[in-house]
Amino acid sequence: MAKGHKDKVAVITGAANGLGQAFAKRLAEDGVDIACVDIADAAPTVKLVEAAGRKAIAVKCDVSSEDSVTAMAAKVQDTFGRADIVINTAGIFPQTNLDTLSFAEWKRILGVNLDGTFLVSMAFIPGMKQRGWGRIVSMSSSTLGSVVTGFVPYVSSKAGIVGFTRAMASELGPFGITVNAIQPGLTRTPGATGRPPRAGFATMDDEFNAVAQLQAIKRIEEPDDLTGAVSFLTSDDAAFITGQTLNVDGGRVRS
């Protein structure tokens, strides 16, 4: 069990599958109760948390909607009485041709990825400040340091998360709240496997394998490769680490 995790409460967005589900399972094993937040049904994740001996609820929420986030936060408060940890995992990453990119599509992607990170974090910061302890961890992306095309709104949103992390760390440090980000590489999640491969690749398996060859650790990244970093950054052992962005991508991007 990680230091300081016992009986804490975490809100994890994008928890129905993929990274969010992996984070929920790991933090439950660390002794944390979990609010599994997703626009999809997170009931399977609740079962994983309960199997680890912790309490969990599934809350349907569109993180890009202020009203939806407000309702979600109220349910978390009614169930657990607080949230000590926020993990912003919810995100979308459609490929978008720059020549045909519309403002509506730009707003949709930034609405989920960046606005959602802001709205969910802000919903629980007042309680964290009152208690003098909190952890916020958000998912950026190693695409910020990679040469990729077709992802201008996505990369922009993930760069915004790095800026949000740095600025919020300064605001919240005096209250015992740390704010950090993680940059995964291309990870084998349902969202990634379900999209078309980038130009030049016949299948997503081809893309996964090609990216793996650019890493120091030459295998495909899996959700469990990120859980240790989340466990650490949300623990008391990371109490003096804030405003940082950690690459967890097998050594592809160096910082």
CA–CA gap between residue 24 and residue 169 (Å, rounded): 23
C-beta contacts of 187-194 below 8 A and 24+ residues apart: 187/18, 187/19, 187/221, 187/222, 187/223, 187/225, 187/226, 188/220, 188/221, 188/222, 188/223, 189/17, 189/18, 189/19, 189/223, 190/17, 190/18, 191/17, 191/18, 191/92, 191/93, 192/93
Residues involved in catalysis: 154
User: Dihedral through CA 20, CA 26, CA 30, CA 32, nearest 10?
Assistant: 30
